[in-house]
Amino acid sequence: MRHDEVRPEDPFYPDELERMRILSDQKFEVNHAFEVVHDDEMVSWFRSAVTKPGAPGYDTNRYFLWCTFSVLAPYRRRGIARSHLPLLLELMDRDGCRTVTLESEEESGHAFLQWLGADKKSEGAENRLHIPDVDWPMMQRWIDEGAKGSPETKLEVYDDHIPDPMLEDFAPQLSALLNTMPWDDLDHGDIVETPEILRHEYERMDLAGLKHHTVLTREPNGVISGMTDITWAPHRPTMLVQLFTGVRPDARGRGIGKWIKAFMLDRVHRLYPDAEWISTGNADSNGPMLAINKRMGFKRHRWGAEYQITRDKLAERVEVLV
């Protein structure tokens, strides 16, 4: 029902895949899940996640809890969303968290978070590219110009997960690239990828039947200067999802971002000729990536924002409400 409310035009995520996702072991996070039921119908759901003690990156992420909850449209304005707040505070205290991050892409969600007193910290959008409209001669020029502009840089392609023997070298370099993403005003810890975390992520991709593709550039000294990865799934055969694209700051200005994005687009178009769309998320502040995406033909599909509220401010709000 939530899918029909907010994303009726998109492929539906199959129940069996959701069941496997819920039941599969989550090694590096503590997850909580709750629901509100009325006459045997789930009318609201609540999910939270926090880094598990001892997990890589725990020291800088232990104080941040991520949470999402939603109420079906016919049951709104009855105080159901508000009733989740004491539970949220209890979880923050249970896990020792100081800040909770929430997000919304719906007007009702923005209104609720503003009423709560949460601060808007980052804005962004899901952008989509309609593949039949791509300017393929321009993409070929980007590929040619990228190779010409960095003649000593090697482009590597992996039409599956990154091979296990590479992970010891790849994981820390991926962490470095991920931590160059713009955070705007969000309070946050460090992103830490390890071989163990990547193997776990790959296992979960495999459970969902995802096909994973990565394109990266490597400098003569072995440093990965740029990368992009994308997934395809049987339950959404007409849509590809671009996960992450990043270029090291010291390698920017050489056309590497355009090179790897164009090469990936050309490759997946050949591998999945029935795919019509590519979906990706971008912070509004990420000007360089947005400029590349706009030239490729990406257009804003859905806007959203992330909010944060401290544990103490949430406690004050709960005390007033109770």
Each residue's pLDDT expressed in tens, for the chain with a length of 322 residues: 888 988 898 988 899 988 888 887 789 999 999 999 999 999 999 999 999 999 999 999 999 999 999 999 999 999 999 999 999 999 999 999 999 999 999 999 999 999 999 999 999 999 999 999 999 999 999 999 999 999 999 999 999 999 999 999 999 999 999 999 999 999 999 999 999 999 999 999 998 899 999 999 999 999 999 999 999 999 999 999 999 999 999 999 999 999 999 999 999 999 999 999 999 999 999 999 999 999 999 999 999 999 999 999 999 999 998 6
**Helices 195-207, 15-23: inter-axial angle, 10-degree rounding:** 150
- Report the C-alpha gap between 142 and 35 in whole angstroms: 49
What is the CB neighbour count within 10 angstroms for residue 234? 12
Tell me yes or no: is domain 126-303 CATH 3.40.630.30: yes
Residue 126's CB is within 10 A of a number of other CB atoms, namely: 17
Q: Two tokens at 119?
A: 């601060």
Q: How far is CA 173 from the centre of its chain?
A: 19
Q: Which residue has the tokens 């991920």?
A: 178
Q: Is the dihedral of CA 283, 274, 204, 256 positive or negative?
A: negative
What's the DSSP call for residue 166? G
The CATH T-level fold of domain 2-125+306-321 is Aminopeptidase (3.40.630)
Each domain of the chain, given as residue ranges in start order, spans 2-125+306-321, 126-303
* pTM, rounded to two decimals: 0.93
245 φ, ψ (degrees, to nearest 5)? -135, 130
Q: What is the DSSP letter of 64?
A: E
Q: How far is residue 231's CA from residue 242's CA, in Å, rounded to a whole number?
A: 7
